[in-house]
Amino acid sequence: MTKPDTRLGTLLLAGALAGCSLAPAYQRPEAPVAPAYPAAGPDGAGPAAADTAWRSFFSEPRLQQVIAAALRHNRDLRAAALRIEEARAQYTLQSAERLPALNASLGAARTRTPAALNQSGRAGVGERFDAGLSMAAFELDYLGRVRSLGEAALALYLASDEARQAAQIGVVAETAKAWFSERALAEQYALAAQTLAGRQRTFELTRQRLDAGAASRLDLRQNETLYQSARVAALTLARQRAQAENALTLLVGQAPAAPPAGAGPDDAALDAMSALPAGLPSELLARRPDIRAAELRLKAANANIGAARAAFFPRLSLTAALGSASAALSGLFDSGSGNWSFTPQLQQAVFDGGRNRANLSLSETRRHLAVADYEKTIQVAFREVADALAARTYLGEQVAAQLAARAAQAERLALLQLRFDNGVASALDVLDAQRELFGAEQALVQARLLRTTSAVDLYRALGGGWQ
């Protein structure tokens, strides 16, 4: 067999052995959660959250504009996109290790040999010209070490993309919740401002009556207390609304081009938003990108074990060169000027101070950590869905009960006002009824906000938000 045939056979054998891998067979861990959600309540019949685009779930045009701006300008999403580029570059670098690196060279050398070292006894000047291709220390991956590292890099790259999708879903949900919170605070502030105006008029009227001798100082102080309390409530809500606007600006990444306006969703819209089918916990493994990202990180850790195991075995590398050499530039490519070299090398660590064993132990420990992270991610997702389903079960009834309470307080105030006008009830009774009606109206706004945010949380927990 000729030398070229020997080289070809060696390469074919290395290629056949390259299919080997010392990485352990990957098995998805069992989901450490119950097979069904507790207190899930009646399930919706609409499309799954993961199949519902956020523009379909949030139908308010101004809110859609704000969410779209957040997806363009949010700094967390910008950082997530850059992490994808980083992971892609790392994967490209690792993939390049599976291919030989070829270098072209063209060189010239001019040397002077002293007379004492020259056979002719005279000093001489020699020239040499070289041109060729070379391949330096290309590892023949017969145990899959390089391939395992490439698989780990690919899994981390895909995990970074899943993490970006999870971040996008989070930005959509948090932007919507910030929008609805600002709207609820605006509605509460409007109620507080209306109450404040009424109590200020009553306070001024009582002061005029005191000046005329028709009211006592006790009546004045009672009305002043109610007026100042309403003023405190209005100022508190104004501060909270301004802070909610700042939170929305931070999520969007700039001041929203479409400022919040209008009221929050009504009860019919809330019923539609809450009517998402929960499905089974096992379906979350495919729906939620954070769970998919955790599993990909687990696969990367599993592949790294294969690379760590392969380090215990000899490493086979190949160095080769092909070119031509001549004493004159004009004869560099003449017949007979060709040269080549072929240098396979087998390298085995004899003593490494326990480095390979420690690296294998580190890889196995990181795999155990990745399993724990994967299982915790599933448990957190299960808890988020279960909490949102529990909120859906009770908040609808809570809003209905609060509506009834507000209606009862409004009727009570109307009856007491009628009795006061006829001299049967006292002004204190009317003021107390006004205060309780104001509290019932504020509680109703807060209950509707809780139901709205729980619907958004359920949408996010089930994997919706990015289509």
Would you say residue 10 has pLDDT above 60? no
Report the range of poorest mean pLDDT among 45-49, 104-108, 168-172, 265-269: 45-49
CB atoms within 10 A of CB 244: 20
Mean pLDDT of the region 279-292: 87
Q: What is the pLDDT of residue 243?
A: 93
Q: What is the pLDDT of residue 39?
A: 64
Helix (H, G, I), strand (E, B) or coil at 394: helix
Query: pLDDT tier at 342 (50, 70, 90 boundaries)?
Result: confident
Mean pLDDT of the region 130-138: 83
The span from the CA of 298 to the CA of 369, in Å, is: 9
The span from the CA of 275 to the CA of 232, in Å, is: 39
Mean pLDDT of the region 276-287: 83
Distance of CA 111 to the CA centre of its chain: 63
DSSP H helices, 22-132, are 54-57, 61-73, 75-96
Q: What is the dihedral of CA 155, 157, 162, 164, to 10 degrees?
A: 160
Q: Cα–Cα distances in Å, from 288 out to 138, 153, 377, 385, 465?
A: 41, 22, 10, 11, 10
Domains and CATH numbers, the chain: 29-100+145-315+357-461 (1.20.1600.10)
Q: Which of residues 113 and 353 earns the better pLDDT score?
A: 353
Query: pLDDT tier at 3 (50, 70, 90 boundaries)?
Result: very low
CB atoms within 10 A of CB 262: 12
The span from the CA of 272 to the CA of 358, in Å, is: 56
Element (H, E) at 307: helix 289-310
Mean pLDDT of the region 345-349: 83
Q: What is the pLDDT of residue 465?
A: 67
Q: For residue 254, give the DSSP letter.
A: S
Q: What is the pLDDT of residue 467?
A: 56
The pair of three-digit structure tokens given for residue 298, joined into one six-digit string: 């687990």
The span from the CA of 250 to the CA of 241, in Å, is: 14
The span from the CA of 306 to the CA of 311, in Å, is: 9
Would you say residue 291 has pLDDT above 90? yes
Q: Cα–Cα distances in Å, from 251 out to 82, 272, 305?
A: 18, 26, 40
The span from the CA of 153 to the CA of 150, in Å, is: 5
Distance of CA 225 to the CA centre of its chain: 49
Q: What is the pLDDT of residue 1?
A: 40
Angle between helices 267-274 and 355-421 (to 10 degrees): 160
Element (H, E) at 420: helix 355-421
State the average pLDDT for the chain. 85
**How many Cα atoms sit within 13 Å of 164 on the Cβ side?**
19
Q: Which of residues 11 and 306 earns the better pLDDT score?
A: 306
Query: pLDDT tier at 434 (50, 70, 90 boundaries)?
Result: confident
Closest CA to 307 of 163, 424, 164, 155: 155
Q: For residue 462, give the DSSP letter.
A: T
Closest CA to 264 of 449, 96, 405: 449
Q: What is the pLDDT of residue 4?
A: 44
* Amino acid in position 333: F
Helix (H, G, I), strand (E, B) or coil at 344: strand
